[in-house]
Amino acid sequence: MSLSKNDIQSSKLIQLLITLRPDEIKGLQRFVISPIHNRRSKVSDLLNILTPYYPRFDGSELSRQFLHQQLFKTSKFNDLEIRRTMSQLAGVAEDFLAWTEYNQNPSNVAVHKLSALRKRGLQKHFDKTTRDTQQLLRQQQTDLNQQLFLFQFEQEQEAFAEQLGARRSTTHIQEVSDRLDHFYMANKLKLACTAVSYQQVFKHQYDIKLTIEVLALLAQTEQADPLVNLYRFGLLTMTEPENENHFQQLKTLLQQDLHIEPKEERNIHVLGQNFCIRNVNRGQQQYFNELFELYKLGLQKGVIQSELSQFAPAFKNIVSTGLRVRQFDWVESFINTYSELLDKKNRSDFRNYNMARLRFDQERFQEAKTLLQEVRFKDVFITLNARVLLIKTFYELDQLDLAEHQLRNTQNFVSRQKNLSYHADIFKKNLRFLSKLLRVNLADAKEIKALATEISEQKGLTEARWLLSKLK
């Protein structure tokens, strides 16, 4: 029976090959022809047959029958034979990925080289590799994997010294113990941070053992390892949010030149940001300033730029915070500089929308209106936010008929959307109170007061601050 195109693409082999970059497919070709990694000629032949179909492997003729005929040069189809060869190539490709991953980190190579030299008693070679590795360590940034390597590095030196059998006045035992502690505590605290985050959002319950003991130990000792300290105070901002000192300690650490991987540092920045956001949501508006400073610091250190390219809401949150603390010049510079990181599909809309928010807060309403009318509404959330802002802009320009017309259109638009989830309720509530604002009798103090009270009592009304400012 012929294997359809969809079936061939659903095979483990093709699913793996599709994920490879052009340089990786060439690397796999070199890997497969090496007798160290593969001694089956049919496996390398099969890759050569498939490679012209890279990257999509969607040729209409592709089937098990076609591959079998090309590979074995026979019209008699043997399904088991071609399946076995495809499986063997998939296995070699998986080995290639593991080999590539291993070689991407020089620390992996160094620690295994040290182990091999130690087992053969090659002291000169071992000492030279140790010096080279120390030089490598001075150049590398630290992350949690590096913590494990540092432990293994010290462990190999202690093991080799012990293997030589000579009496020693000094050992690496303390260094081995310290590195193991750093690796364990940093990973334990990071895992505890993740667990607490899930508990707060999804109400899951976790029992991350020894977390309390690790925190108690760190409170009693001087701990110089930056990752341990960062995750320590990051965790404490979540578990003891009433203690402002934890956040200040975390902020002080983040301001230092940490020499750690940007991904790890970004994780800690998020913990600090979340602490500020939680306090803002509790009504402590001064934390907008703290949040703004954290965003500025993250951009300055280059650790949150990747977040902007992957998550447009992060871009919007930074703009919102900058506007809230009225740093208008900084916000304009931010939009012009970092909008290039946004996804091309929505970049123009998102830039115009956020620039319109800036112009609105600067009370340059005509410019805000022009920018909003340039938004092409490709993304539903940009669309809705832009529509709400346009209603407010018409109101500020005293163009109440246009505001009413835009309000009705937006209400209809929301009702047609089927995938807004809880966002639909938020937008409907905002639109309902925008409608009440348009209809309130501004000459009737009692009516104004009643509406202001109703707005103040609402939960989840994101436009409450602006609505109340208009009623004042």
Q: Tell me, what's the pLDDT at 312? A: 75
Q: Two tokens at 118?
A: 């130690």
Predicted pLDDT of residue 410: 95
Task: Please identify every stretch of the chain with a pLDDT value under 50, giving residue numbers as ranges.
Answer: 1-6
**Count of helices and strands (H, E) across the chain:** 25, 0
Q: Are 377 and 353 in contact (CB under 8 A)?
A: no
Which residue has tokens 């306090």?
279
Contact 93, 54 (CB under 8 A): no
Say what the pLDDT of residue 343 is.
Answer: 85
Q: Which position has the token pair 């499986």?
A: 87
CA separation for the pair 20, 111 (Å, rounded): 28
Q: Tell me the β-bridge partners of 260.
A: 142
For residue 397, the tally of other CB atoms under 10 A from its CB is 14
Give the pLDDT of residue 25.
97
Structure tokens at 30: 């070199």
Supply the pLDDT for residue 166: 65
Establish how many alpha carbons lie within 13 A of residue 161's alpha carbon, considering only the half-sphere containing its beta carbon.
15
The identity of residue 343, as a single letter, is: D
| pTM beyond 0.85 | no
Residue spans of the domains in the chain: they are 5-104, 105-138, 141-164+172-273
* Secondary structure (3-state) at 156: helix
Q: What is residue 374's predicted lDDT score, i.e. its pLDDT? A: 87
